[in-house]
Structure 1
Amino acid sequence: MTSHPWHRDGRLHFAVGVEDTFVPQSRPGERAIDEYALTEHYDRWHGDLALAAGAGAELVRWGVPWHRIEPERGRWDWGWLDRVFDRFAQLRLRPVVDLMHYGTPLWMEGQFAHPDYPKHVAEYSAAVAERYAHLGVADYTPVNEPMIHALFTGEYAYWPPYLSGPEGLSAMVGQLGRGFVLAQRAVADVLPGAVFVHVDAGMRFTGDTDAPEHREHAARLKEQVFLVEDLVTGRVGDAHALAPFLRANGWTDADFAWFAEAPVRPDVVGVNYYPLHSTEVFEAGVFHTGGFPDPRPVQDDGVAGLAELLRGAAARYGAPVMLTETCVTGTVAARLDWLDASVAALHELRAAGTDVVGYTWWPLFDMYEWTYRHSAAPREAHRLTMGLWELQEREDGLARVRTPIADRFRFHADQAAAQRLQKNPNLGA
């Protein structure tokens, strides 16, 4: 595994992701979520990474389970993680490492609201980067989907620390943003030349957004999609559309100044787009808070929505963009259709001049819906048919069952590789 700046070589890189949501805290009526445990990835990681390589992926978005590797403050358990990263190197796969994919360790009281969360996440991030630098692990996402983090933990009271309303959202945006900045700086300090892929959920809003009862809220949501990324890149001053909202909900001059003085930049801006979920519809006279607790209707805008979000991210941040998650939950035929259509859309964007550097099918194999947390039903009741491989319950555990989608993904990845070699035969040397 080399540490060349892959995002600047003019190529389209194909990636897969292993679903890595971790919410290890629980309370009465709730179960912990650890997708690696639910999918048995902790036991089957060796073969799972071989699946990624066999599908033709070059990159794998993969998360570190912080709650497992630092089970007590300052006590590190690296054994499992060492073996996983050795396997990445053996297979010549590049991990794009999610340092934070929703979960804090159990010892951190208050979770993201803990006053030292930003300091703790920075220390952990530096420890990971330093330990695996010798393997060429150089690609990091400080926080996956920070605005979804902030909504679920700060506005919807759905995940710990269960804050709610505008004040809760503003508090979580600040904490997550500070942690984001300090984590990226900490990794850069120990790993000069690291590549930072900033990833958030691409969200679109349509319908009766101009209805009097929705106008103000819809306008906020359209800007809020970008809020954490705008903060960490130093774009939120008094002229920002959401500055009044933050000030009205606890932010001070010192908060704004901290982010203005400490910007970090993405090397790649990642957009997560799911055509069946990423476009929410406002309806006149109907009120929804959004998210899992009170979802709005959704509209499938297909590749048009995808192209709009990628072009918008490239224009807003002036960096290469990557489709960092996409799929449809459905039949094999539906997934095949979306794979073909979305790959074609990226090639069209590139041909038209948008600097799209990567395509990610998420996930490599099926995952379990977050509703598992608030259910007593067995995991199979929550399985989402999203993967290149489907998960099948057997006596000896979860089998990975290859689907034709894996073969089609390999076809697209191989075509991209062949085109790269045609342009530069030395790449195959």
Structure 2
Amino acid sequence: MNPATGAKWFQDGRFHYGVGIEDTFIPQERPGHRKLDLYELTQHYENWRTDLALAADSGAELIRWGIPWYLTEAADGRFDFRWVDQVAAEMDRLGLRCVVDLMHYGTPLWLENAFLDPRYPDLVARYAGEVAHRYRGVFTDYTPLNEPMVNAEWCGYRGSWPPYLTGDSGFVRLAMILVDGMRRTQAAITAADPDASIVHVDAGFQWAGDLGAQRPKAFLDEWRFVMTDLLFGRVGPEHALWSYLTTNGARAEQLAEFAAQPVLPDVLGINYYPGFTKQGFDPETQRTYPVEAGRDGLLEHVRAYHSRYGLPLAITETSRPTSEEGEKIAWLDDLASGVTELRTEGVDLVAAFWFPMLDMFEWEYRFDTRPLDDFHIRFGLVDLVRGPDNRLERVPNAAYSHFQQLSRPQG
């Protein structure tokens, strides 16, 4: 809160830089599917104080950081916030404003059949309410569910994550459950802390063309927005995907309920990676492939969300995964110039996060047996360098210094 005006951070007229700690949690294992906890794989649990210090020293005002629900509520209704208490206190001491990821994909192990458990919407809201109540005045900004589109795709369409549904009917079934959960989560947060702000984070892809004969580009250009449209109560019989949703299992009564009671965030976060947010399709292999979209793709992405929703926007994830520091620096410069151009146009763009701040390990690790380091991706402003003791040393690279210059502009 700006004490002089009463305005919140996203209303103060300034542009804010942030960083993020990758926090994907898929704890469920089965033959051929390893546990995926990025805090564990990147050794954040052991190095969280160092990681937060690096975030603060980068000049970032904001940090996206998530609570591992599956550990914090390891048994139904039994919460253990001892570790989160320490992290929250240190963020407060360092002056980092945390945008809390309450759900970054995974559910607790005790939740039967993951998202298909009929209790899920109420239980995720209960957990969110516990967090918002406990940390009122310390945590002020929340993301109810990170990237619902990706969540519904990997859990409901591809069958890669629990509950392992596939196809359009699986996607729609998961979509409706996730939206119901987000709606209840936001209500629980604001009931526990009326001053809290909500940052919804979307990750709708861009498409270079048709995704096979069954998914023409015109369909994909609407599909990318469907989760946010559902949450915001924008899906009625006139919506381009009404028939798709109802044909694949969405009940008209629930869609009408969503439309009658729209749920809007304070800030709409959009994730954009210049090297893979845009996707093409190879009809011979029947596989998608990344298309370089660069700065122009960022401008298109932000303008599309601005035109469609008219809300304050934040680029909640962006980075360029490469070992070439010059390429990361070039993307930071493209990001900064793009932000200036968009804000000059009148787009209410309030923040951008380099995500993740540390290198990470790709999700495909879950489905393989090769050593972890075979999946190392050089996303970070801070490199992860494994030593002979197996510890991952945090080594800031040249892009970290460049980020400091952007986030701390000289007067």
Residue 12 (structure 2) aligned to one of 9, 13, 16: 9
Aligned: 1:400 with 2:394: yes
- Higher alpha-carbon deviation: 272-281 or 11-20: 272-281
| Corresponding residue SS for 2:288 | coil
Amino acid at match of 1:37: E
Q: How does 1:251-290 map to 2 (within 5 A)?
A: 251-282=250-281, 285-286=283-284, 288=286
Q: Which moved more, 1:237-246 or 1:4-13?
A: 4-13
* Match among 195, 198, 201 for residue 193 of structure 1: 195
- In structure 2, the partner of 1:379 is 372
Give me the identity figure in percent. 42
What is the CA distance between 1:2 and its match in structure 2?
7.7
Check if 1:298 corresponds to 2:301: no
Return the alpha-carbon distance in structure 1 between the equivalents of residues 265 and 103 of structure 2.
16
Aligned position for 1:291: none
The residue that corresponds to 1:335 in the other structure is 328
1:344 CA displacement:
1.3
Q: Per-residue deviation at 1:282?
A: 3.7
For 1:179 and 1:217, the matched residues in 2 are separated by 30
Q: Does 1:149 align with 2:151?
A: yes
Q: Name the amino acid aligned to 2:394.
A: R
CA contact (8 A) 2:2 2:12 kept: no
Distance 2:306 2:184 in 1: 24
Distance across 2 between alignment mates of 1:113 and 1:127: 22
For 2:347, the equivalent position in structure 1 comes to: 354
Which of 175, 185, 210 is the aligned partner of 1:173?
175
- 1:422 maps to what in 2? none
Structure 2 residue aligned with 1:206, among 205, 208, 223? 208
Matched residue, 1:310: 302
1:238-253 correspondence runs (5 A): 238-253=237-252
After TM superposition, give the deviation of residue 315 of structure 1 in Å.
1.5
Alignment-derived partner of residue 64 in structure 1: 67
Give the superposition deviation at 1:46: 0.9
Q: String of CA shifts for 1:42-64, please: whole Å, max 9, x gaps.
A: 11111110000000000000111
Q: Which moved more, 1:338-347 or 1:64-73?
A: 338-347
Cα distance in 2, alignment partners of residues 312 and 280 from structure 1: 17
Partner of 1:55: 58
Larger mean CA deviation between 14-23 and 297-306 belongs to 297-306
The question of 1:46 aligning with 2:49 is answered yes
**Counterpart secondary structure, 1:95:** strand
Deviations 1:212-235 (A, max 9, x none): x63754322211111111111110
Deviation at 1:180, TM superposition (A): 0.6
Q: Report runs of 4+ in structure 1 exceeding 4 Å deviation.
A: 1-4
Out of 342, 351, 357, the residue aligned to residue 364 of structure 1 is: 357
Deviations 1:169-207 (A, max 9, x none): 010000000001100111011111211111111411113
Query: Match of 1:359, SS?
Result: strand
Residue deviations 1:299-319 (CA, integer Å, cap 9, x gap): 111111101111111121111
Cα RMSD after superposing both structures: 1.6
Q: What residue in structure 1 maps to residue 130 of structure 2?
A: 127
Distance in 1 (CA, whole Å) between partners of 2:304 and 2:168 is 26
The one-letter code sitting in structure 2 at the alignment partner of 1:315 is S
More displaced stretch, 196-205 vs 59-68: 196-205
Question: With structure 2 as the length reference, what TM-score do the two structures score?
Answer: 0.96
CA contact (8 A) 1:70 1:77 kept: yes
The CA deviation string for residues 151-182 of structure 1, in whole angstroms up to 9 with x for no partner, is 00001001110000111001000000000110
Partners in 1 of 2:320 and 2:390 — Cα distance?
28
Match of 1:26 in 2: 29
Q: Which amino acid aligns with 1:337?
A: A
The amino acid of 1:408's aligned partner reads H
Give deviations 1:240-263, integer Å, cap 9, x for gaps: 111101111112222212212332
Structure 2 distance, partners of 1:144, 1:219, is: 25
- Rounded Cα–Cα distance in structure 1 between residues aligned with 2:168 and 2:33: 24
The letter of the residue matching 2:62 is L
- What amino acid sits opposite 1:405 in the alignment? A
> Is 2:74 aligned against 1:75?
no
Q: Deviations over 1:69-105 (max 9, x none)?
A: 0000001111000000000100010000011100100
Distance 1:42 1:287 in 2: 40
The one-letter amino acid paired with 2:194 is P
Q: 1:308 to 1:317 in 2, by over 3 A?
A: same
Give the number of aligned pairs. 406
In the other structure, the counterpart of 1:220 is: 219
- Structure 2 distance, partners of 1:23, 1:50, is 27
- Structure 1 residues 2 and 109 mapped into 2: Cα distance closer, same or farther (>3 Å)? farther
Query: Is the 8 Å Cα contact of residues 202 and 309 (structure 1) preserved in structure 2?
Result: no
Q: Which runs of 5+ in 1 are unaligned?
A: 289-294, 420-429
Name the CA distance, whole Å, in 2 between partners of 1:11 and 1:107.
44
